[in-house]
């Protein structure tokens, strides 16, 4: 059993090394990946609800930071998740 685990770990390490050499130019030990903790996944229903709530909030005179905090609480998400969706929906012209 241990021999199988050791072989699997060796295979994984070889694959990781190959991927790093093939796709990550430069020193990967100092690589920083932004947004690893952000949840980019939303259901279509959530997106439609988000759009509606965002537009209503803007009409009521709320600021973007206020809406971000409110929507993060409403959806049970981190504010960063909301900010990414705001950027995405704004770029697509779906919210003002």
Mean pLDDT by 10 residues, the chain (96 residues): 76 76 68 87 97 96 97 97 96 92
Structural contact between residues 95 and 54, judged by C-beta atoms closer than 8 angstroms: yes
CA distance 42 to 13: 33
The per-residue pLDDT for 23 is 72
What is the enclosing helix (H) or strand (E) of 51?
helix 44-59
The per-residue pLDDT for 28 is 60
Report, in angstroms and rounded to the nearest whole number, the Rg of the chain calculated over CA atoms. 21
pTM of the model: 0.66
The per-residue pLDDT for 59 is 95
The per-residue pLDDT for 25 is 66
């Amino acid at each position: 059993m241990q021999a199988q685990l050791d072989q699997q770990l060796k295979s994984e390490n070889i694959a990781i090394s190959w991927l790093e050499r093939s796709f990550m130019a430069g020193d990967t030990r100092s690589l920083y990946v932004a947004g690893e903790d952000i949840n980019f996944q939303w259901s279509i229903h959530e997106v439609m609800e988000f759009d509606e709530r965002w537009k209503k909030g803007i009409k009521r005179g709320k600021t973007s930071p206020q809406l971000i905090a409110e929507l993060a609480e409403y959806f049970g998400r981190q504010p960063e998740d909301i900010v990414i969706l705001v950027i995405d929906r704004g770029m697509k012209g779906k919210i003002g």
